[in-house]
Structure 1
Amino acid sequence: CMHSGKKVYVIGETISPAIRENDVCILISGSAKTNAIRHIRKLAENIGATTFLVTANKEALTGDSLLSGLWINAATKHTLQSDMKTIQPLGNQFDQMAHIILDAAIIDSTNDITTMIENHTNME
């Protein structure tokens, strides 16, 4: 999102400002069951922000304040071996799929490569 000109912050970073009403909080979690994800979602929704959940857990894509969500059919550490065959351990498959899909969404929504280059770090 940052490459397309949006202001983006990571929860927990010291430079992240307070979340506000009408902000969008993007949560990425294979299970969507961790205490941290549930807590952050509840805090964001109580403030009036909208949550967008990227998950491998279909059942987690419910809620009054959920703008929308994205279900990724990929293995997580909670997936039974009989449910989905993969040689990748734990949530690696979900993590990789989320990265590829979200990267494709940014590419699709940003036709201006010049803006992306201008917004890319220059401190390397």
Structure 2
Amino acid sequence: MDFHELGSKIIEEYKDVFSRIDDRMIDAFIHEITTHERLFFIGVGREGMMTRAFAMRMTHMGKEVHWIWDDTTPGIGEGDLLVATIGSGEIGHIRYVCERAKEHGARIVIITGSPSGNAVKLADFVLFIPGQVYGGTDDVAPSVQPMGNLFEQSLLIVLDMICIKMVDENPDITYEKMEKRHRNVE
């Protein structure tokens, strides 16, 4: 397959993923984010990178944001939201973090490409991104790409689209205000 043919195929895969996403689920996810001031995030590998990009945008939107693996992350508790990306639905050490967060009263949102996964049962809310994920077992958009590429790429795009939607729906959030919160020591 040549480069342009492959690009066209991948764009068709994105269309397949996005056509399977329930708008109500996106709105409910936005509600979870907007009704919590302190947001904690966790993810690993490429999924983690995409999740971390979203966490950065939440900081730009004025949220108090913490990445679970950072040494400066405070304790989590009641009123806090943990957003965990578990593409396959079961990653042992992320499951452990979710269990501890739940014990301390945090609300748990899991973003996954495999909602039948065992760890997903811990979630108070699940955002299902139906793209092929490494180790997933659910009915999702298939891909010519290796492992979890389609899920990971779709994750970044969906989370960026959520940011755009949040700006569109909230007059208190503007791109200009977000830019003022961007790190300025680069």
Question: Corresponding residue for 1:17?
Answer: 74
Q: 1:23 to 1:79 in 2, by over 3 A?
A: closer
- What is the 5 A alignment of 1:1-124? 1-60=58-117, 61-63=120-122, 66-79=123-136, 84-110=141-167, 111-124=173-186
Normalising by structure 1, we get a TM-score of: 0.86
Q: How far has the Cα of 1:17 moved from its partner?
A: 1.2
The answer to which structure has the higher helix fraction is 2
The sequence identity of aligned pairs, in percent, is: 28
Normalising by structure 2, we get a TM-score of: 0.59
Q: Which runs of 5+ in 2 are unaligned?
A: 1-57, 168-172
CA RMSD after TM alignment: 1.8
Cα pair 1:53 1:70 within 8 Å, conserved: yes
1:61-104 per-residue CA deviation (whole Å, 9 max, x = no partner) reads 444xx332210111111247xx7532221112111111111111
Q: How many residues align?
A: 120
Higher relative contact order (CA 8 A, sep 6+): 1
Segments ≥4 residues shifted beyond 3 Å = 60-63
